[in-house]
Amino acid sequence: MKRGGRKISVIGDRFMLSSMFEAALREHCRLHELDIRTHDLPWPDQPMEHGYAVAGMAGLKEYMGTAEETVRLVGDAEIVVTQLAPFSAGIMDQTPNLKLIAVSRGGPVNIDMKAARDRGITVVNTPGRNASAVAEFTIGAILAETRNITKGHDALRKGEYRGDLYRADVTGRELSEMTVGLIGYGEVGRRVVNFLKVFGCRILVCDPYVQLSAQDMKDGVMQCDLDKLLAESDVVSLHPRVTAETTRMMNEKTLRKMKKDATLVNTARGPLMDYDALYEVMKSGHLRGAMLETFAIEPVPPDWPLLQLPNVTLTPHIAGASVRTVTYAAGLAAAEVNRYLSGQPLVHVC
C-alpha cells in the first residue's frame, strides 16, 4: 500500500467494510495524496459495548473496541473514518494529531462530542444513510404482520399447515382498506409515506416539529396529534428520534389508546417503547400484533417474555442493513473528507 500524504485511519467493521471506505476515499479524494491505513472490527459477529459499562468511556453509547486498540489504530492519523470505533476524552488525549472524525452513521453516539469540541476535533456524520433501507423494511414488517406471513411461516416450520389463516375472522386486511399512522416524519418517515401511497391506504402523520410536504398534502396525507393517530390507525409505525420527550412514548397509557386489533411496528429505536407494558398489552389481546426490530437491550435475553408471544414478530435490529447503506454512507463520509482536505465548508458537521 502506498505511503505518504495525509494520514487517514479507516476503522471499519464487517458491515461498514474498510475496503469500501477506502474505495470511496480514493474516488472522492483523487486530487489528494493519501496515506490510508485500514482495519476491520468484529461487529456484528461480536456485540457492541455501551459507554456506561466501561470505565473511561463516559459520554459514549454504542461502540466497538477498547481504548487501547483505538489509540493504536489511530496512531498519528489526522483523519479517522469509522462507524463504531470509540472516541472518549481519554482516547482523544492520546491521539493529538487527530483533527477530523467522519462517522458513518446518523448520530455520533460513539464519540464524546463535548470532548471533541474542547480539543478542536471536528466530527461529521452521514445523516439518512440507511433511511431507504429502513423504509423498505418497514413496509415488509407491516405486511408480515397484517397478512399473517409470520404466523404462516412459524406454523409450517413446526409442521403445522394452518388452513385456518384463510378464515374471514383470522385472515388479514389489505392496506388499501386500512389507516396507517406514522409517528415521526423524518428521513425514514417521509419515505414510508411515499411507499404507502401506492397501496391506497389512508395515511396519518404525527410530528409536531415538521410540516408535511406540499405533495403529501396534495396526495391526502393528514397531519394530526398523537391521540387522533392512535385512536384511528389500524397500523402504527414508529419513526421519531429518541429524545426525553419520545423515550417510552409507547407505554401502558398510549398503547391502550390504540384501536383494539391494531398492529404496532417499531423499526426505529428501542427506547421509544416500554416493553413491560407492551408485553401486558399484547398478552391481553388488545392488539392484533406487534413487529419489533429494535430493543432496549441488545442482544435481547433468550428468556425475554416478548419472545414467547405468538402475536409478536421480532428481528435482530437489521432494518438498516443493506449493501446500499454501506456504499452510500461511505460516499457521504468520503465527500466530507474531500471537503476538509480541499479547505471547503463541511456539510454534515455534528
Tens-digit pLDDT profile for residues 272-288 = 999 999 999 999 999 99
Residue of 33, 68, 177, 298 with catalytic role: 298
Cell of 50: 455501551
Rounded to 10 degrees, what is the CA torsion of 302, 303, 309, 313?
A: -20
Q: Count of alpha carbons within 13 Å of 227, Cβ hemisphere only? A: 1
What average pLDDT does this structure show over 327-344? 98
Mean of per-residue pLDDT scores for the chain: 95
Q: pLDDT, tens digit, for every residue of 209-254? A: 999 999 999 999 999 999 999 999 999 999 999 899 999 999 999 9
- First-to-final CA distance of the chain: 32
Residue of 28, 129, 239, 269 with catalytic role: 269
Say if residues 32 and 341 touch (Cβ distance below 8 Å).
yes
Measured distance CA(247)–CA(254) in Å, rounded? 13
* Burial environment of residue 149 by CB neighbours within 10 A (0 to 12, 13 to 18, 19 or more): middle
The single-letter DSSP state of residue 203 is E
- Sorting pLDDT into bands at 50, 70 and 90, what band is 49? confident
Q: Which amino acid is located at 346 in the chain?
A: L
pLDDT at 2 over 60: no
Which ranges constitute the DSSP H helices of the chain?
18-28, 67-74, 89-93, 113-118, 131-146, 149-157, 187-199, 214-218, 226-232, 252-257, 275-284, 323-342
pLDDT at 314 over 80: yes
pLDDT at 298 over 90: no
Which of 39, 31, 30, 37 lies closest to 2, judged by CA? 37
Cell of 150: 409470520
Cis check: omega of the bond before 86, within 30 degrees of 0: no
Q: Which of 62-66, 76-80, 298-302 has the highest mean pLDDT?
A: 76-80
Measured distance CA(167)–CA(183) in Å, rounded? 32
Percentage of residues in the chain with pLDDT exceeding 90? Answer: 90
Question: Known catalytic residue: 286?
Answer: no
Task: Name 343's Cβ contacts closer than 8 Å, sequence gap at least 6.
Answer: none
Measured distance CA(256)–CA(281) in Å, rounded? 7
Say if residues 192 and 138 touch (Cβ distance below 8 Å).
yes
Which of 42, 47, 35 lies closest to 6, judged by CA? 35
Measured distance CA(24)–CA(335) in Å, rounded? 8
Question: Known catalytic residue: 269?
Answer: yes
Question: Known catalytic residue: 317?
Answer: yes
Say if residues 41 and 17 touch (Cβ distance below 8 Å).
no
Q: What is the CA radius of gyration of the chain?
A: 22
pLDDT at 1 over 60: no
Residue of 317, 336, 339, 348 with catalytic role: 317
Q: Which amino acid is located at 113 in the chain?
A: M
Q: What is the distance of C-alpha 269 from the center of its chain?
A: 7
- What pLDDT does residue 3 have? 62
Cell of 91: 482516547
The single-letter DSSP state of residue 273 is B
